Amino acid sequence: GESVGLHLPTLSVQEGDNSIINCAYSNSASDYFIWYKQESGKGPQFIIDIRSNMDKRQGQRVTVLLNKTVKHLSLQIAATQPGDSAVYFCAEIPYSGAGSYQLTFGKGTKLSVIP
């Protein structure tokens, strides 16, 4: 499949360690923030989302933290596994009116897990 990770920042972690992927967003009026995982040759896959009125949300092995003061979002993956290797994108939903909830994606981070 094509390399979606070309020219992206890369994070390399040892299998079993925790990973932290960071993202700066641009629109302070955004209502939802979402993390997506994209493996080579596939479309983005939803991981977890958080609404702007929350600062933390936990899922299975993942935690998203939202700091609205500095417009920063992070994704923490516990006990990282080889299957977690992918490109990770944060996305925000700046409400664009007329009922359109378009996603605005960040640049992405390539996570490589070392066995």
Partner 1 sequence: ETGVTQSPTHLIKTRGQQVTLRCSSQSGHNTVSWYQQALGQGPQFIFQYYREEENGRGNFPPRFSGLQFPNYSSELNVNALELDDSALYLCASSPSTSSMAYNEQFFGPGTRLTVL
Contacting positions for partner 1 (CB under 8 A): 2-8, 31-32, 36, 41-46, 49, 89, 91, 93, 96-108
Nearer to partner 1, 32 or 62 (CB): 32
Least Å distance, CB 104 to partner 1, is 7
Least Å distance, CB 100 to partner 1, is 2
Nearer to partner 1, 14 or 107 (CB): 107
Least Å distance, CB 14 to partner 1, is 25
Q: With beta carbons less than 8 A apart as the criterion, state whether 5 and 89 touch.
A: no
What is the C-alpha to C-alpha distance for residues 99 and 84, in angstroms, rounded to an integer? 34
What is the C-alpha to C-alpha distance for residues 56 and 82, in angstroms, rounded to an integer? 25
Nearer to partner 1, 97 or 115 (CB): 97
Nearer to partner 1, 18 or 45 (CB): 45
Least Å distance, CB 30 to partner 1, is 11
What's the per-residue H, E or C state across 15-84? CCCCEEEEEECCCCCCCEEEEEEECCCCCCEEEEEEECCCCEEECCCEEEEEECCCCEEEEEECCCCHHH
